[in-house]
Amino acid sequence: MAPEFVESRRRAALEVYESQDVPTWRRSGFWTTSLRGLDIDTLEPKRYEPGLPELDLGDDEHSALIVQRGANVVHSDLNDDQIVVMPLEQAVEEHPELVAEYFGKRLPIEDDKFAAGTAAFWSGGVFIHVPKNVRVEKPIQVVWLIDEPGTVQWAHTLVVVGEHAEVRIREFFLGGDFEGQALHSGAFELYAESGAQVDLAHYQDWGRGDVYDLSTRRVDVGRDARVKWVPIHLGGHLTKQTLDIITAQPGSDMRHTGMYFTERDELLDLFTTDKHEAGHTTGDTVWKGALTGESRASYEGLIHILPGAPEVDTYLQTHQMLLSPKAKGDAIPSLIVEVDNVKASHGGTVGELDPEQIFYMMTRGISRAEAVRVLVEGYFEEVIMRLDDPGLEELVRRRISEKLAGAEDQVREFIGERAEGR
């Protein structure tokens, strides 16, 4: 038996899970995210023997690597004795007081059915603790792997970064090109204590299998702490995520820079909040997306400044680029400000590749396909550069380039139609 604080949360969450119907998310306009296609009763939490699967994580070096395949952790290694990186199941036994202080603090079980399901059923899990004043050079890598259909992965990652500690964390969500369904229902929470410096990246590439990803990720930025968060979405059959970053104490600062590239019949539904609970906090959010195939992508980004949080300075911008006649998307920035004396602004664009840019490049001898590739990569470069991690940057650039090569015909058709239609 796990400690009571874990078990009681599981029990309460199970009640919520069982009392709620499978949700359908609707927003104004044409947007609906439905789980009609998901046959959840056929999925099971598959367990695997320990062993390190073959992975491409961009960087070869790490201070710690922990891999969960299906329902259990199959690999964990640690090259830095100052930090704790272990399965959350193990951490609740070995560090119960520390875990209890933070566990679920920003993840209420009532959020929705799948948040409750994750709280009730999580297994394996990841716990990271970087103690006060510790500076970790090499990144900590966390991998969630689903490489077989019929799998459900209830995931929970808890990260505590102590006062004035410094760390880079990369969490990967990787799948295979299998046929059939799988579900990743994930919870992520990170607490950056006073003066901590966190460089966080999420890299999602679920592959061609029908992986559903229903996740909530929350980052809590303490006094004078700084978090840079770069989520990269490169694939998933259906992704419905809530990504929140909360500047919770005066002086906290965040930079949230994300991107997505959707293809085939993928559906991506992202809701992010830049939430300011304390005054004298700063934020900067930029999200960029590109859509091919018949994919649909919706990004909604909210700046929320609470009462009692004056002198906030924050900014949100979102851009979306359509690369196929059949893709559909929207990008909605919004703002709730409940206090005077703040600086908050937002902007959004939905557009296409500019035929003038393509013509210009072609007059220099560059082929149309190459021009499109360069323009799309250039468009994402602002986000990719923020990774500030050459190995991971290369991985992202390579994947974008592969996806564009796969979409070349439809992009050409689309650009051609637009050029003639003018």
Of residues 61 and 417, the one with the C-beta less far from another protein? 417
| Shortest spacing between CB 177 and another protein, in angstroms | 29
Nearer to another protein, 36 or 364 (CB): 364
419 binds another protein (CB under 8 A): yes
Interface with another protein by CB under 8 A: which range of 134-142, 215-223, 243-251, 360-368? 360-368
Residues 5-64 that bind another protein (CB under 8 A): none
CA 95 to chain centre: 27
Draw the binding track, 327-356, toward another protein (x: CB under 8 A; -: no contact).
---------------------------xxx
Q: Which stretch binds another protein (CB under 8 A): 23-31, 86-94, 217-225, 414-422?
A: 414-422
Using an 8 Å Cβ cutoff, are 243 and 271 in contact?
yes
C-alpha–C-alpha distance, residues 76 and 114, integer Å: 27
- DSSP H/E element including 78: strand 72-78
Complete edge-to-edge strand list for the sheet that includes strand 84-86: 84-86, 126-130, 151-161, 181-192, 210-221, 238-247, 267-276, 296-305, 328-337
Of the candidate spans 63-71, 96-104, 129-137, 365-373, the one that interacts with another protein by CB under 8 A turns out to be 365-373
Site string for another protein, 366-395 (x = CB under 8 A): xxx-x---xx-xxxxxx-------------
Contact 158, 123 (CB under 8 A): no
Closest to another protein by CB, 307 vs 421, is 421
In angstroms, what is the minimal distance from the CB of 273 to another protein?
A: 28
Closer residue to another protein in complex, CB, 160/321: 321
Is residue 417 part of the contact set for another protein (CB under 8 A)?
no
HEC sequence for 223-277: CCCEEEEEEEECCCCEEEEEEEEEECCCCCEEEEEEEEEECCCCEEEEEEEEEEC
Terminal CA-CA length for the chain: 68
Chain residues that interact with another protein, rule: CB under 8 A:
354-357, 359-368, 370, 374-375, 377-382, 419-420, 422
